[in-house]
Chain A
Amino acid sequence: MDILVCMKQVPDTETKIVINPEGTGIVTDGIKYVMNPYDEFAVEEALKIKEKMGGTVTIVSMGPQRATEAIRTALAMGADKGVHLCDDAFEGADSYSTAKALAAAIKPLSYDIILGGKQAVDHDNAQVYAALAELLDISHVSIVTQLDVAEDGKSAVAQREVEGGAREVIEVSLPAFIACQKGLNEPRYASLPGIMKAKKKPIDVIDLAKSGLSADEVGEKGAKLKIRKFFLPPEREAGKILEGEPEELATQLVKLLREEAKAI
């Protein structure tokens, strides 16, 4: 099996997000970046499929220079090689122009299945994989919590989460894009020998020229949507503590709920 994993490097989920003064993005100084947590499930599942059926696992990632660290982490977990879409022209992409670039990198590759996280925890769009599958003209199954690839590698059965905790079971012919959800597996830690081997594994860097796309198809220029502004929710104001006898308190509370909070 030729297994691809689409992976994105994102700010650590514990990062305290600060918006830049212009409101156009976040302050990136001092941010620790990690592999998108949902992509960890995808890497783990890819490694499990490889362990069962043989083959290679290739990590495909679009991102600035620093994204190599996340690719190396996946290689240290056991993936075989990386493809890194890295060019200033790819910056500022939306889901569509990201999918466009990923599709360009993936088209020349041979693949039986593509895995990825159900969403990246930075912008939380959850749209790249659907657009990518469309551009590659393959099926996609989203929010997958269990995956069984048929022995012949031609199809797979995936369970996905639907409302109310119910499960939907879908059989899909391969190649297909599988968007992974928490619960699918427990991602392994990179091992020390894995980390030592990772630095010798190949990462193919693809810039704009190599992608075969033009500058206005990718990044900010190729984006279908433009982000006008970022802002944080207003800080919560301190609560009010009412004092007095229970009866007075109830009257005061109702008054406040009606007049100030307009809740009743």
Chain B
Amino acid sequence: MTSETTDFLLIDEMLSDEERMVRDTVRGFVDEKVIPTIADDFEQAEAPMHLVREMGEMGIIGATLPQEYGCPGSSYVVYGLIQQELERGDSGIRSFNSVQSSLVMYPICEYGSEEQKRHWLPGLARGEKIGCFGLTEADHGSDPGGMKTRAVKDGASYVLNGSKMWITNGNVADVAVVWAKLDGEVRGFLVEKGTPGFTANLIKHKMSLRASVTSELVFEDCRIPAENLLPKSGGLRSPLGCLDKARYGIAWGATGSAMACYEASVRYAKERTQFDKPIGSFQLVQRKLALMLTEITAAQLLNLRVGRLKDEGKGRHQHTSMAKMNATSKALEIARMARDLHGANGISLEYPIIRHMNNLESVHTYEGTYDIHLLILGHEITGIPAFR
């Protein structure tokens, strides 16, 4: 039995009809709307922004957030499946969705005022508005607590100074969720596009996530109304709470990328002949395929379990760290094996492999590097924090 399917352990049977229908619908969308043009987007370094509205119409932005704010109010497993399918297309479109859903809409929903929620969430859910999340700074990545960006209260406004680096959607965002220190405490602020003193600069020369916008955000005496503070945000816990949601989705997404690489590899192994045989008949090639399928299966099970725990209210951020760390590193290994298996074709954008492989380098790093998640688990296991 030669199978290209990535559902080796019949994990589909662990999903509800509704979950499968969402997965299949998003898969259809990605097959028809993302995959045919994404290599060009990647080559031209263009983000397919026209797909944002379509995702909005499909109701797959902010999937877990409540219906009263124009969101579907769905489960974490459904959210995960959406991310998996989007990243089966490209990490860029999945990044857009995770940032908008988990890093922009979630904090507005969780830490925002009623007016902020009513004002922003429905438009963001429909894809009519775009948001970004500014936590990382050029000199503070893994250690965001060291951030230099400051907010100072001045009458009925806050004045922001500082800069943020590597910010997904920065140049296309209508609203930035910016994390800055106010009297020494990390707080979240909503900064609208066009606010004087706020500029976004496109980061060029990226060799990864080329179909996604990444920017530097600069704040120079940027004055925002006092009501743009996210009132319920307080401390580093707040941005980390958002990251937990996004990272969870990244675990599914990276697995989607790995599935794309594996499926392409199985096809290639059967079609490509060398030494008068399909390369799939060589033991070394079979070894690669067997390892790929095993790791994909393991990641699917881990992701699904973490999702179910989240839906049951038993999820912990350490679970997310395990899933993110595992899925991104295995996906990267799988992409590299797929690259090798495709020979010279593996370096060409005519095949999806090098694009996924390069994308996964970012996915491995952002939202907590692989090593940082290892350390989070190390802390969990030993009780000893090894970060500092």
Contact = CB atoms under 8 A, between A and B. Distances in A.
Interface in A141-197: 188-196
Contact of A72 (B17, B57, B63): B17
A139 to B, nearest CB: 34
B312 interface: no
Nearest to A192: B59
A28 to B, nearest CB: 16
Contact of A190 (B25, B54, B78): B25
- The number of chain A residues touching the other chain, given as a range, is 10 to 19
B48 to A, nearest CB: 16
Interface in B38-96: 54, 57-60, 63, 67, 72-74, 78, 82
Given A69-B17, A191-B57, A191-B58, A196 B72 contact: yes
A115 interface: no
A196 B21 CA distance: 10
A19 B67 CA distance: 48
A195 B25 contact: yes
B268 interface: no
A73 interface: yes
Contact of B22 (A69, A188, A195): A195
Interface residues of B, number: 19
Nearest to B21: A195
Interface string B1-44: 00000000000000001100110010011000000000000000
A195 B25 CA distance: 10
Chain A interface helix/strand/loop/mixed: helix
Interface string B244-275: 00000000000000000000000000000000
Contacts of B54: 189
A194 B17 contact: no
Contacts, number: 46
A189 B21 contact: no
B17 A192 contact: no
A62 interface: no
Given A72-B17, A76-B21, A199-B17, A192 B78 contact: yes
A189 B72 contact: no
Contacts of B29: 189
A36 to B, nearest CB: 15
Contact of B28 (A72, A189, A191, A195): A189
A194 B59 contact: yes
A193 B72 contact: yes
Nearest to A199: B18
A167 to B, nearest CB: 27
A72 B21 CA distance: 9
B280 to A, nearest CB: 17
A190 B23 CA distance: 11
A72 B20 CA distance: 12
Given A69-B17, A72-B21, A76-B21, A192 B57 contact: no
Contacts of B58: 189-192
A190 B57 contact: no
Contacts of A190: 21, 25, 58
Choose among B18, B63, B82 the residue with the greatest number of A CB atoms under 10 Å from its CB: B18
A192 B72 contact: yes
Contacts of A198: 18, 21
Contacts of A194: 59
Contacts of B72: 192-193, 196
B94 to A, nearest CB: 16
A189 B28 CA distance: 8
Given A192-B63, A195-B25, 7 more contacts: A69-B21, A76-B21, A189-B28, A191-B58, A192-B74, A196-B74, A199-B18
Interface of A: 69, 72-73, 76, 188-196, 198-199
18 contacts: A69-B21, A73-B21, A76-B25, A189-B28, A189-B29, A190-B21, A190-B25, A192-B22, A192-B63, A192-B72, A192-B82, A193-B72, A194-B59, A195-B21, A195-B25, A196-B18, A196-B73, A196-B74
* List of 9 A-B pairs having minimum Cβ-Cβ separation, nearest first: A192-B59, A191-B59, A192-B72, A193-B59, A193-B72, A190-B25, A191-B58, A195-B21, A189-B58
